[in-house]
Structure 1
Amino acid sequence: MPATAATSAPDRLLLLHELPPGKSTGRVTVWRRLRRIGAESVGAAWALPLDEENREAFEWLRGEIVALGGRCAIFEAREVSGAGGPDETAEVARLERSGYRRRVWVTRPRPGIDRMASAWLIRRFVDPEARFEFSEKAPGGRSRRIAFDMFGAAFGHRGRRCSFEVLAASFGLKESRIRELGGLVRAVDLHEEAADPAAARMIERLVAGLRASHADDFGLLEAGMALFEALYSSPPPGAGTGQRAGARPAPRDGKERRQRR
């Protein structure tokens, strides 16, 4: 009798990992090595066919991740029939913004470009009264605190998409300007080639300057959100210097800006 889906033997290896904040070079190195050995992105995990050679490759990589101060786990799994391989252009499940209002959004300390952009997107389009917290671990259980751009977060990297792009897709934000910003964020965050290299270099330098000049994480995040509001509101090349059509200022109400409650 053929094996059923419930009793099929594992046929894949999955690697889950997390690197500490401030390890951007190590993060890119790990990502490149995963690509080099042929691993495929499946949600928050990386997958290879189950065999001894691939197990050894993952074990070597786990050692490097741990040496960088990170965490890593390797699992055996079975590919679900009909699920197919990872598709970096696959649709992201649409979510209703009304179910994500007046929440506390949690991310890692020392926000970088993806977390700055994601926080701006959340407060600008999803949750105008969003408050933010910083933690090394994502909240568990049925907490009303929502994690983003961190290990175990619902809104994190997916395939080649950065967290900003996953959030935009999840809440149906399809405006061309948001797509452009998403491409720049992804290029800087993952060290990919940008459609506009000069713009990517400029934003990378601005973010680095903010990180160098703000010791407080809350102040850093606020400054990063202000940066992305300015980028979003700026006119496209050749369109003059007036306010971008349809732009509205980001929420400035004191209640909305208090994040330390």
Structure 2
Amino acid sequence: MPSPNTITVDKLARLVGLPKCPHLIDVRTDEDFAADPRLIPGSVWRPHPLAESWGSELSGNSAIVICQKGLKLSHGTAAWLRHLGKEANVLEGGFEAWEAARLPLVPDAKLPRRDDKGRTVWVTRARPKIDRIACPWLIRRFVDPEAVFLFVAPSEVILVGERFKATPFDIENVFWSHRSDTCTFDTMIEELGLTTEPLKRLALIVRGADTARLDLAPEAPGLLAASLGLSRMYADDLEQLDAGLLLYDAFYRWCRDATEETHNWPTNKPKP
């Protein structure tokens, strides 16, 4: 019989990538993490002995705690978080159960170094349209919910990255960029181990809209139109990013759950 305050792997898999997913906290020991330095998408590794300290700084009120097998470390950490007034559950079976289910895992070695607040920091060109909104959406939903994005003049991206320890993306001659006929979003899902069917479907739409190959997916022209419309609505890049996150949330849910659904009107049209 499952313990109270637990969540199954299947249920967590349905929450990952959604805007209201709880904080995912990985508290595996240094030894366990070193043996397999990969992360459940959206999770952040934190030291369990310091739970009282970092737990009080968590935004929001809910968390799911992950240790190697879903035993003492996750239950103890979750209890501390509940003591701090937060709703906290434990992943049944822990990291090992997620891995056994063959669900995606993000290699920690591919992630940028985090700042002193535990966030990844990224920098790209100002006035984003498609790839530069899609990639932040992917990072916020599947890699680092607290990620920071800096939008600067194209000529300043590399120097800003060096001075502010930010990782450049979607510009020429950097790691996180277009490759051959694919776009930066494709690069990210491949390098970060996120090649699930819904994300591959979304990547095709993004690629079609971003590289002017609208024939790649029937939905690509719609994404292009919506993206250009948003760029006209917002002068502030961060406001545009916030609006764009909702757009990609909707496209992702369609890719994951609704591709077979149709809509006709009127539904009660009398038969001839």
**Corresponding residue for residue 53 of structure 2:** none
Structure 2 Cα separation of the partners of residues 171 and 145 of structure 1: 18
1:47-86 aligned within 5 A: none
Q: 1:212 Cα shift? A: 0.9
* Structure 1 residues 141 and 215, CA gap change in structure 2 (3 angstroms): closer
* 1:228 and 2:248 are equivalent in the alignment: yes
* 1:107 and 2:127 are equivalent in the alignment: no
Structure 2 Cα separation of the partners of residues 212 and 186 of structure 1: 21
Q: Unpaired runs of 5+ in structure 2?
A: 1-106, 264-272
* 1:237 and 2:259 are equivalent in the alignment: yes
**Corresponding residue for residue 194 of structure 2:** 173
**Corresponding residue for residue 230 of structure 2:** 210
**Greater share of helix residues, 1 or 2?**
2
Structure 2 Cα separation of the partners of residues 226 and 210 of structure 1: 11
Structure 2 Cα separation of the partners of residues 195 and 100 of structure 1: 35
1:182-221 aligned within 5 A: 182-197=203-218, 199-221=219-241
Q: 1:96 Cα shift? A: 3.6
Deviations 1:26-61 (A, max 9, x none): xxxxxxxxxxxxxxxxxxxxxxxxxxxxxxxxxxxx
Q: Unpaired runs of 5+ in structure 1?
A: 1-93, 242-261
**Corresponding residue for residue 146 of structure 2:** 129
Structure 1 Cα separation of the partners of residues 250 and 110 of structure 2: 23
**Aligned residues: CA RMSD:** 2.3
* Structure 1 residues 126 and 212, CA gap change in structure 2 (3 angstroms): same
* 1:151 and 2:172 are equivalent in the alignment: yes
* Structure 1 residues 176 and 189, CA gap change in structure 2 (3 angstroms): same
Structure 1 Cα separation of the partners of residues 111 and 162 of structure 2: 21
Deviations 1:88-109 (A, max 9, x none): xxxxxx6646655512111110
Q: 1:229 Cα shift? A: 1.1
**Corresponding residue for residue 69 of structure 1:** none
* Structure 1 residues 183 and 148, CA gap change in structure 2 (3 angstroms): same
The percent of aligned pairs where both chains have the same amino acid is 36
| Contact 1:107 1:150 (C-alpha < 8 Å) held by counterparts | yes
Q: What TM-score, normalized by structure 2, do the two folds share?
A: 0.49
